[in-house]
């Protein structure tokens, strides 16, 4: 069975609700619109579902012209998709970068939606952020431009869970079908349609996987607890987990990707070719 691209997701505002796409433009720092915006606290440090799981309940629409947010608590907010607003310094993990503050109205809206004093920022087009763990520019993603997971890997996990979880718990950008479970563990380079990607690092998972992505509430300790029973870095890569910069106890699910070459477009149903393996 050939490997196919089965799903595409973008997350225009970091930690808010995903948008499922039929196709997407691949750019150097990720998919178009992916994680261009971010919620920050009063000190300019990023806020995620780790601290505020309710961010998952805020829905997002993004076009070339506008960003539209919707919350059951705060109603709707429409913002122009342009580089405008005062430049401020924001912090994401160990990185500090300049971003546009989207103003008092946006801050009041997101504060009402989350119940926490915060504001919204947008990464300028000309600003390039390089993380300490990657060698490619990224947007406001944690470390790498894209995340890939195979559907077979989720199926294998769900067979071990009392209550199966959907793919959105893991917030991938790309899902593929037609593989065996965890086949992606051995990939080094792939081609999707005309786009090529380097497969650079397994993704170590955190408590965000325990957040219900529809309701924005923590649902217990699954699937992280079950993953920890069979997906520790020292078990998946017993001889070389350190080469990836992983700790022995890291719980792995999915692979981080870096786009190679010029802009291209991927679409659901595209053939996925494994170019190189470990």
pLDDT tens per residue across all 278 residues of the chain: 899 999 999 999 999 999 999 999 999 999 999 999 999 999 999 999 999 999 999 999 999 999 999 999 999 999 999 999 999 999 999 999 999 999 999 999 999 999 999 999 999 999 999 986 767 899 999 999 999 999 999 999 999 999 999 999 999 999 999 999 999 999 999 999 999 999 999 999 999 999 999 999 999 999 999 999 999 999 999 999 999 999 999 999 999 999 998 799 999 999 999 999 99
Hey, how many other C-beta atoms are within 10 angstroms of the C-beta on 179? Answer: 18
DSSP helix, strand, coil percent of the chain (3-state; round to 5): 20, 40, 40
Question: Which domains, ranges and CATH numbers included, belong to the chain?
Answer: 4-8+139-277 (2.40.33), 19-138 (no CATH)
Tell me, what DSSP letter sits at residue 235?
Answer: H
The DSSP element (H or E) to which 109 belongs, if any, is helix 104-114
3-state secondary structure of 195: strand
Are the CB atoms for 227 and 157 separated by under 8 Å? yes
**What pLDDT does residue 215 have?**
96
The distance from CA 249 to its chain's CA centroid, rounded to whole angstroms, is 22
pTM: 0.97
Hey, how many other C-beta atoms are within 10 angstroms of the C-beta on 108? Answer: 14
**What pLDDT does residue 134 have?**
64
Tokens for 107? 């801050």
**What pLDDT does residue 262 have?**
79
**What pLDDT does residue 153 have?**
99
CA pair distance 155, 165, nearest whole angstrom: 9
């Amino acid at each position: 069975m050939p490997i196919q691209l089965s799903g595409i997701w973008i997350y225009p505002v970091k930690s808010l609700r995903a948008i499922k796409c039929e196709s997407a433009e691949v750019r150097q720092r990720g998919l178009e619109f992916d994680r261009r915006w971010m919620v920050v606290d009063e000190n300019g440090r990023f806020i995620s579902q780790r601290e505020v799981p309710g961010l998952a309940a805020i829905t997002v629409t993004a076009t070339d012209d506008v960003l539209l947010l919707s919350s059951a608590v705060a109603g709707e907010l429409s913002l122009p998709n342009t580089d405008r607003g005062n430049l401020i310094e924001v912090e994401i993990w160990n990185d500090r970068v300049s971003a546009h503050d989207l103003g008092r109205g946006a801050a009041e809206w997101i504060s009402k939606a989350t119940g926490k004093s915060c504001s919204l920022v947008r990464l300028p087009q000309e600003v390039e952020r390089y993380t300490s763990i990657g060698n490619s520019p990224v947007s406001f993603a944690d470390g790498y431009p894209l995340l890939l997971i195979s559907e077979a890997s989720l199926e294998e996990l769900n067979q071990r869970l009392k209550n199966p979880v959907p793919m959105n718990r893991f917030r991938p950008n790309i899902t593929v079908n037609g593989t065996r479970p965890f086949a992606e563990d051995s990939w080094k380079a792939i081609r999707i349609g005309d786009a090529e990607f380097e497969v650079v690092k397994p993704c170590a998972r955190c408590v965000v996987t325990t957040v219900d992505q529809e309701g924005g509430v923590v649902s217990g300790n699954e699937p992280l607890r079950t993953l920890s029973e069979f997906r520790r870095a020292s078990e998946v890569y017993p001889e070389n987990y350190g080469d990836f910069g992983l700790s022995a106890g890291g719980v792995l699910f999915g692979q981080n990707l870096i786009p190679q070459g010029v802009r291209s477009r991927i679409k659901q149903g595209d053939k996925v070719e494994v170019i190189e393996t470990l």
